[in-house]
Amino acid sequence: MAHIFVVDDDPDVVATITDAFLMFGHSVTSAKNGVQALEMFHNNYFDIAIIDVEMPLMNGLELTRELKKFRESFPIVLITGYSHLYQPQDVLSLDVEAFLKKPLNLQNLVSIVEQILSRPGA
């Protein structure tokens, strides 16, 4: 069982992702923006994060940079409904595990997260 951190300002997306991972026995904690997420990250241990790119106060790219300062190898999957605004190579240069477009294919998301979590040392 892993502790998954979901950061997205859309409560419907959070609920959908949460339900998917709860079905597989994982625990899920969520934050609605990058500022809240950063505070929660300092007070909890998470195995992986799924972070929306476009959020108020602090976007997902800024949040990723901040989280990596504290845990360089922390696995992050970025998601966005605005993939046309970002070059995949620029996003992946932040050392994230994946960059996925919304609407999400939940089966694909779960599969990617399970693969990441099953790596040695994860």
Q: What is the pLDDT of residue 122?
A: 64
CATH 3.40.50.2300 fits 3-117, yes or no: yes
* Among candidate residues 28, 99, 94, the one with its CA nearest the CA of residue 66: 94
Q: Which two tokens stand for residue 5?
A: 């951190």
Q: What is the pLDDT of residue 85?
A: 78
Q: Which two tokens stand for residue 60?
A: 């997902």
**Helix residue ranges per DSSP H, 1-122:** 11-22, 34-43, 60-70, 88-92, 106-117
Q: What is the pLDDT of residue 26?
A: 97
Confidence of residue 93 (pLDDT cuts 50, 70, 90): confident
In what helix (H) or strand (E) does residue 6 lie, and over which residues does it extend?
strand 3-7
* Among candidate residues 37, 106, 29, 107, the one with its CA nearest the CA of residue 65: 37
Confidence of residue 121 (pLDDT cuts 50, 70, 90): confident
Q: Tell me: the pLDDT tens digits for 25-56?
A: 999 999 999 999 999 999 999 999 999 999 99
pTM value is 0.95
CB 49 within 8 A of CB 5: yes
| Domain locations in the chain as residue ranges | 3-117
